[in-house]
Amino acid sequence: MPHIRYGPDNPEATYVSHGYEERLCDLGEIQMNYVSAGSRDKPALLLIPGQTESWWGYEAALPLLEDDFQVFAVDLRGQGRSTRTPGRYTWDNIGNDLVRFIDLAIGRPTLAAGLSSGGVIAAWLSAYAKPGQVRAAYYEDPPLFASETRPAVGHSIRQSVVGPMFALWAKYLGNQWSVGDFEGMLRARSEEVSPNLVNPVSGRPPGGAPSPTPPQNLKEYDPEWGAACWTGSISAGCDHATMLAAVKCPVLFTHHSRRTSDDGTFMGAISDLQVTRVRALVESAGQTFTYLDFPKMPHSMHGADPEQYARVVKEWAGGLRG
């Protein structure tokens, strides 16, 4: 397969059309791509995708939310149609992108809901956004502590199922797809990552043959994101324990499928032990912490069960209004 450098500089090879109008918001360092749905007389809701996920990961959930909210779904820097920023992938930079986005595109207090790495960013906003910007935050199965190389509690990214996958992408695809050896990655995956990751790494459907081309979400992703997580540079200046102790709004946390495999690899985003510490820190900051356990739910509730996701968000938001 010929080397193709996917991303905003090669849009014809990278992107596909969707059912919502995409827009760009100039934040200074980056152009942030986003969509919006619903009317301004409804509460604002900011949806923050997980790593390797563009805004359209929420596309099935948007019609279920737009009657109750004015919804904004974004592409974070280095994902989707937003700007790539070599050497600049840190939680602080990504969080500050959304501080500016709330000011420029939303223009009023918002609820913030993020999946996975997006859930870490939702936690960042709940601690460090401008006063009054974020009314409450929903952390959807986030790898708090688990995405650090030296966490205060529990396993690190080096002991998780996802860490070696990030390292594999960084090695064979390269920053900004500069290597682009997808075929080499497929050949190496059985030796370099857990067998449990063969499907996510290759884009193979359950029971199907490996895809000869990258899955769409991976085309829209800068592998330097994963490299920053694997090396720990993404957490520069942003210790999770310190961040969680500074949370300034109510928190909803949904915890999804997790287990430890026979080879000792943690399969999931965050352990029960780590959630216990998250809760203690948020409550020590004087904020309410609502915990919902979905032990059979895949990592992305909004992707696997958008109806359930919409119910959770509406009930949570309704309680806040009450």
**CATH code for position 28:** 3.40.50.1820
Spatial separation of the C-alpha atoms in residues 221 and 165, rounded to whole Å:
14
Residue 88 within any structural domain of the chain: yes
Residue 306 within any structural domain of the chain: yes
Summarize pLDDT for 134-149 with one digit per residue, the tens.
Answer: 999 999 999 999 999 9
Quote the pLDDT of residue 198: 47
Tens digits of pLDDT across the chain (322 residues): 567 899 999 999 999 999 999 999 999 999 999 999 999 999 999 999 999 999 999 999 999 999 999 999 999 999 999 999 999 999 999 999 999 999 999 999 999 999 999 999 999 999 999 999 999 999 999 999 999 999 999 999 998 888 999 999 999 999 999 999 999 999 888 777 766 654 444 444 333 345 678 999 999 999 999 999 999 999 999 999 999 999 999 999 999 999 988 877 889 999 999 999 999 999 999 999 999 999 999 999 999 999 999 999 999 999 996 4
Residue 209 within any structural domain of the chain: no
Residue 189 within any structural domain of the chain: no
Residue 178 within any structural domain of the chain: no
Question: What are 274's two structure tokens?
Answer: 């780590």
Question: What are 183's two structure tokens?
Answer: 């075929």
Residue 3 within any structural domain of the chain: no
Residue 7 within any structural domain of the chain: no
Quote the pLDDT of residue 196: 60
| Overall number of domains in the chain | 1
For the stretch 283-304, what's the b/e string if a residue is b when 16 or more beta carbons lie within 10 angstroms of its beta carbon? eebebebeeeebeebebbbbbe
Residue 51 within any structural domain of the chain: yes
Beta strands in the chain (DSSP E): 23-26, 31-37, 44-48, 70-74, 110-115, 134-140, 251-255, 259-260, 266-267, 289-293
H/E stretch holding 252 reads strand 251-255
The domain in which residue 81 lies consists of 18-155+238-321
